[in-house]
């Protein structure tokens, strides 16, 4: 049968088969190709392999592509998708090497594929094309959310997609639609904060941005990820139906409405049920209720985890059967993709997995490949890869928009022009890895000695400082030496922060800063000079020892490549900070949970939406101008121009929820009427805008 089909393809070399004709309807092309595929070919489309399995001399080696491995996995097993997981990259890790690698994989695949089905390559581009050292990296999501500007988020996603596409990566495992409601969780910084409305706006915007750049977006992790009561990554979670529908589902619904082409599954269990084996969630809820029609992909090795972690499957075969029949279309199997495809074939032949379910899944995968244009244009121009990597102006603008001023006693910031000598304290001030965070070149952050396209705070200050300003630096680890240095300074900028992390390795039950950073904080006591503390962190950390020694505190989040310039702009007043916290900042970990609507007795240190400015604003006369539109007058009552994001939320008993916002930029003394469109959930409820209550 295969031989006959091969002859048919050869005979039609000059006359395209229906699926090869781009003028035919998509559904026709998919149906025609599916009808020509064998069961092993279909199974190959339902697995994804990590690129290291195809490299060097072993499954985790990072070397040149190995022809023997390519033959085993892409040739014989006909695996249809490859990913770079955990920082897997070509050697050298350059844009051109990426393009050459993906082209080589594509050429090999097409040379072996009987039906010329192209390969689809995926990676985690969560804050830029962050697998490539020279690529511009943007602020991580929870910082980006502080700008309350989804259009800016869409621009960053589009820039990311252009860089990824230039290197042959057409499937992005982003955006993250999970909510950040427990900062102990190591993936907190990958979220857009605690409020579903804000997360929904950014998730939808990123879907539009990625896919506007011809890269498939993957909304993740459906559903209930990150809700473990102690903040442990991938731990089981329990959620009420009310919270599922009012908190967790809206960002996913927004992504689906925006046209997300794929979705990734929660690695954990929800209400006692592993999500990868839940037909109730992946079929009834996702397909039936939310009407998602794209590809569902597992997370890293999570089908095998049904046996090894969740213990609901007694064998690898049973794990595959459970996941596929529950609704998983593509299984991310980093090493054993070929053998998993073979297992799937046997399951179908034995009747444990239906042929209809396989055809359904493969149709979705083929649809994705057709939509991305891979059948018509499977290769990239290797000579253009380098030129697509940089977008520094956008990165600087984005990082500046995130800067959130939490404390500014006596107007210490912006730094006075009378400052003649500035002492910069802390190695984090000249450490790109701390401002980039996890998922930067490598899974756990920037490897030591990596050359990246990033501007540190020291570099940013040097570039922005007036020539008359004398700059000094001290690591801050020796109290006596720091005391001596401080005597000559007019002001001190102390830069502290977390070391990079990702996923479970970043879980932090205490919320404490690393020990070496706390040592610097202790050494800042009693210096007798104003101290401005700049914080790099992927979560709200414990500030019990930080606030007493800080006259000003600037939350810089994980600002990306241009973080140094953005911080310098804030310090010297070239940019007035306008960020507002997209999460609640607890006093300590013992106070958790602490989110919007927490009772006064358990009020967080900094409530959701906290953010100071170098000027002052006054809001007056809030009123409904339409059933779902609120207007109010905002005046800049200070002496500097500034931007204010006006927030609206509803209160229903003890439950509070963000329902709308709008930003306004005002010169000193200027007044404007601001209009806020609130979501339908505000109908009939009390609405609060900037602390002012509106009742219908």
330, 337 in Cβ contact below 8 A?
no
pLDDT of 7 above 60:
no
Split at pLDDT 50, 70, 90, the class of 448 is confident
Model confidence band, residue 686 (pLDDT cutoffs 50, 70, 90)? confident
Which CA distances in Å does 626 have to 3, 681, 696?
68, 14, 11
Q: Is the peptide bond before 593 cis (omega within 30 degrees of 0)?
A: yes
Two structure tokens written together for 634:
């905002």
Q: In the beta sheet, which residues pair with residue 494?
A: 425, 533
Average pLDDT over every residue of 427-446: 97
Taking alpha carbons only, the member of 224, 199, 252, 241 closest to residue 657 is: 199
| Topology annotation, domain 28-388 | TIM Barrel (3.20.20)
Binning pLDDT at 50, 70 and 90, where does residue 609 land? very high
In angstroms, rounded to a whole number, what is the distance separating the alpha carbons of residues 105 and 80?
Answer: 11
Q: What is the pLDDT of residue 403?
A: 99
Q: Provide mean pLDDT across the span 152-178.
A: 99
Average pLDDT over residues 664-680: 96
- The pLDDT tens digits of the residues spanning 297-352 come to 999 999 999 999 999 999 999 999 999 999 999 999 999 999 999 999 999 999 99
C-alpha distances in Å from residue 619, one per residue of 310, 411, 675: 52, 22, 12
Average pLDDT over residues 671-681: 92
Helix axes 249-257, 196-212, angle to 10 degrees: 30
| Model confidence pLDDT, tens digit, residues 110-146 | 999 999 999 999 999 999 999 999 999 999 999 999 9
Mean pLDDT of 664-693: 90
Instruction: Determine contact, residues 641/667, Cβ cutoff 8 Å.
Output: yes
In the chain, the percentage of residues whose pLDDT exceeds 70 is 97
State the pLDDT at residue 596. Answer: 82
- pLDDT tens across 205-256, in order? 999 999 999 999 999 999 999 888 899 999 999 999 999 999 999 999 999 9
| Mean pLDDT, residues 622-628 taken together | 89
Provide the pLDDT for residue 226: 86
Q: Examine the residue annotation and report whether 652 is marked as an active-site residue of this protein.
A: no
Say if residue 8's pLDDT is above 50.
no
Residue (of 137, 125, 329) closest to 222 by Cα position: 329
- Rounded Cα distance between 36 and 40, Å, is 12
pLDDT at 536 over 90: yes
pLDDT higher than threshold 80 for residue 12: no
Specify the pairing of strand 552-557 against strand 404-408. Answer: antiparallel
Q: Are strands 531-536 and 692-694 parallel, antiparallel or unpaired?
A: unpaired
- Give me Rg for the CA atoms of the chain: 26
Give the pLDDT of residue 5. 45
Nearest to 69 by CA among 81, 83, 55: 55
Q: Is 411 exposed, middle or buried, given 0-12, 13-18 or 19+ CB atoms closer than 10 A?
A: exposed
Confidence category of residue 282, pLDDT binned at 50, 70, 90: very high
Q: How far apart are CA 465 and CA 568, in angstroms?
A: 8
398-591: CATH, from 1.10.357.10, 1.10.3720.10, 3.40.50.720, 3.40.50.1700: 3.40.50.1700
Say how many C-beta atoms besides its own lie within 10 A of residue 291's C-beta: 10
* Whether pLDDT at 566 is above 80: yes
Query: For residue 58, what pLDDT band results from cuts at 50, 70 and 90?
Result: confident
Same fold, 28-388 and 617-694: no
**Structure-block tokens of residue 287:** 């397909």
Token pair of 291 as six digits: 């009407």
Average pLDDT over residues 252-278: 99
Query: Which runs of E-coded beta strand occur in 398-522?
Result: 404-408, 421-425, 470-474, 491-497
Residue with tokens 């500046």: 400
Mean pLDDT of 574-581: 99
- Averaged over 666-690, what is the pLDDT? 90
Whether residue 344 contacts residue 336, with contact meaning beta carbons closer than 8 Å, is answered with no
pLDDT exceeds 90 at position 602? no
CA separation for the pair 64, 67 (Å, rounded): 9
pLDDT for residue 279 is more than 70: yes
- Residue entry with tokens 């501007």: 455
Q: Is the pLDDT of residue 641 over 50?
A: yes
List the one residue out of 47, 222, 201, 203 whose CA is nearest residue 122. Answer: 47
| pLDDT value of position 305 | 99
666 pLDDT exceeds 60?
A: yes
Percentage of residues in the chain with pLDDT exceeding 90? 90
Who's near 394: CB < 8 A, 6+ residues apart?
136, 138, 155, 156, 159
Give pLDDT tens digits for 238-252. Answer: 999 999 999 999 999
pLDDT digits (tens, 9 = 90+) for 176-205: 999 999 999 999 999 999 999 999 999 999
653 — phi, psi (to 5°)? 70, -125
In Å, how far from its chain's centre is CA 645? 23
**Distance between CA atoms of residues 66 and 75, nearest Å:** 12
Backbone angles phi, psi at 569, to 5 degrees: -60, -40
Tokens describing residue 245: 């529908």
Ordered by start, the domain boundaries in the chain are 28-388, 398-591, 617-694
Question: Which pLDDT tens digit goes with each residue over 352-398?
Answer: 999 999 999 999 999 999 999 999 999 999 999 999 999 999 999 99
Q: pTM score, two decimals?
A: 0.96
What pLDDT is attached to residue 257? Answer: 99
Q: How far does Cα 129 stand from its chain's mean position?
A: 11
What's the chain's average pLDDT? Answer: 96
The rounded distance, in Å, linking the Cα atoms of 691 and 696 is: 16
**CATH class label, 617-694:** mainly beta
Q: What is the model's pLDDT at position 3?
A: 45
CA 486 to CA 476: how far, in whole Å? 10
| Residue indicated by tokens 């990590």 | 50
Out of 178, 299, 507, 569, pick the active-site residue: 299
Residue 242, helix vs strand vs coil:
helix
Q: Which residues 6+ apart lie within 8 Å of 7 measured at CB?
A: none
pLDDT value for 432: 97
Q: Which of 250, 107, 104, 118 is nearest to 171 (CA)?
A: 118
Q: Which residue has the tokens 């089909």?
A: 5
Given this model, what pLDDT does residue 247 score? 96
**Confidence at residue 653, expressed as pLDDT on a 0 to 100 scale:** 72
Cβ atoms of 46 and 341 closer than 8 Å:
yes
Phi, psi of 489 (to 5 degrees): -100, 145
Record the tokens describing residue 376, joined without a space. 């018509």
DSSP string of 149-187, one letter each residue: -HHHHHHHHHHHHHHHHHTT--EE---B------TTSTT
Which pLDDT band holds residue 449 (cuts at 50, 70, 90)? confident
Distance in angstroms (rounded) separating the CA atoms of residues 536 and 456: 12
Assess whether pLDDT exceeds 90 at residue 690.
Answer: no
């Amino acid at each position: 049968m295969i031989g006959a089909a091969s002859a048919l393809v050869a005979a039609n070399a000059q006359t395209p088969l229906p699926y090869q004709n781009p003028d035919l309807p998509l559904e026709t092309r998919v149906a025609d190709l599916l009808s020509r595929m064998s069961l092993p070919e279909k199974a190959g489309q339902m697995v994804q392999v990590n690129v290291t399995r195809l490299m060097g001399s072993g499954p985790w080696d990072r070397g040149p592509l190995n022809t023997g491995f390519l033959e085993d996995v892409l040739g014989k097993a006909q695996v249809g998708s490859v990913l770079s997981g955990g920082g897997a990259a070509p050697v050298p890790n350059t844009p051109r090497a990426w393009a050459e690698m993906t082209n080589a994989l594509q050429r090999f695949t097409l040379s072996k594929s009987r039906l010329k089905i192209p390969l689809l390559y995926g990676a985690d581009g969560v804050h830029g094309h962050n697998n490539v050292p020279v690529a511009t990296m943007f602020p991580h999501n929870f910082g980006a959310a502080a700008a309350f500007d989804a259009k800016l988020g869409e621009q960053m996603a589009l820039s990311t997609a252009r860089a990824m596409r230039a290197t042959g990566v057409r499937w992005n495992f982003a955006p993250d639609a999970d909510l950040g409601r427990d900062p102990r969780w190591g993936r907190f910084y990958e979220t857009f904060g605690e409020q579903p409305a804000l997360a929904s706006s950014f998730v939808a915007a990123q879907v539009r941005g990625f896919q506007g750049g011809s890269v498939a977006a993957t909304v993740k992790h459906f559903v209930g990820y990150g809700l473990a009561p102690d903040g442990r990554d991938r731990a089981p979670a329990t959620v009420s139906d009310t919270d599922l529908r009012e908190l967790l589902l809206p960002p996913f619904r927004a992504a689906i409405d925006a046209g997300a082409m794929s979705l990734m599954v929660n690695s954990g269990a929800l209400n006692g049920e592993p999500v990868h084996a839940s037909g109730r969630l992946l079929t009834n809820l996702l397909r039936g209720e939310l009407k998602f029609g794209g590809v569902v992909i597992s997370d890293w090795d999570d089908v095998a985890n049904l046996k090894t972690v969740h213990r609901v499957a007694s064998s690898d075969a049973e794990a595959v059967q459970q996941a596929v029949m529950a609704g998983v279309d593509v299984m991310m199997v980093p090493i054993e993709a070929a053998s998993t495809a073979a297992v799937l074939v046997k399951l179908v032949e034995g009747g444990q997995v239906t042929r209809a379910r396989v055809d359904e899944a493969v149709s979705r995968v083929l649809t994705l490949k057709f939509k991305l244009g891979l059948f018509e244009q499977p290769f990239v121009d290797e000579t253009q890869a380098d030129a697509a990597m940089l977008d520094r102006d956008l990165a600087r603008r984005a990082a500046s928009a995130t800067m959130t001023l939490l404390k500014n006693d006596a107007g210490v910031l912006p730094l006075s022009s009378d400052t003649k000598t500035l002492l910069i304290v802390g190695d984090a001030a000249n450490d790109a890895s701390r401002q980039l965070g996890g998922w930067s070149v490598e899974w756990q952050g920037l490897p030591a000695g990596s050359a990246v396209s990033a501007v540190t705070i020291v570099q940013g200050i040097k570039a922005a400082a007036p020539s008359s300003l004398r700059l000094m630096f001290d690591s801050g680890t020796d109290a006596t030496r720091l005391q001596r240095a401080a005597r000559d300074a007019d002001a001190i900028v102390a830069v502290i922060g977390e070391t990079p992390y990702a996923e479970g390795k970043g879980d932090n039950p205490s919320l404490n800063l690393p020990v070496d950073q706390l040592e610097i904080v202790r050494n800042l006591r009693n210096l007798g000079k104003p101290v401005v503390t700049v914080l790099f962190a992927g979560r709200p950390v414990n500030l019990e020892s930080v606030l007493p020694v800080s006259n000003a505190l600037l939350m810089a989040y994980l600002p990306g490549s241009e973080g140094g310039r953005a911080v310098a702009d804030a310090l010297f007043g070239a940019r007035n900070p306008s960020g507002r916290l997209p999460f609640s900042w607890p006093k300590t970990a013992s106070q958790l949970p602490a989110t919007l609507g927490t009772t006064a007795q358990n009020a967080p240190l900094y409530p959701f939406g906290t953010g100071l400015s170098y000027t002052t604003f006054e809001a007056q006369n809030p009123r409904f101008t339409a059933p779902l539109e609120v207007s109010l007058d905002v005046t800049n009552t200070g002496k500097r121009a500034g931007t204010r994001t006006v927030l609206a939320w509803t209160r229903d008993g003890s439950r509070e929820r963000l329902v709308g916002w709008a930003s306004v930029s005002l010169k000193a003394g200027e007044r404007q009427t601001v209009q806020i469109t609130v979501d339908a959930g505000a109908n009939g409820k009390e609405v609060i805008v900037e602390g002012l209550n509106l009742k219908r």
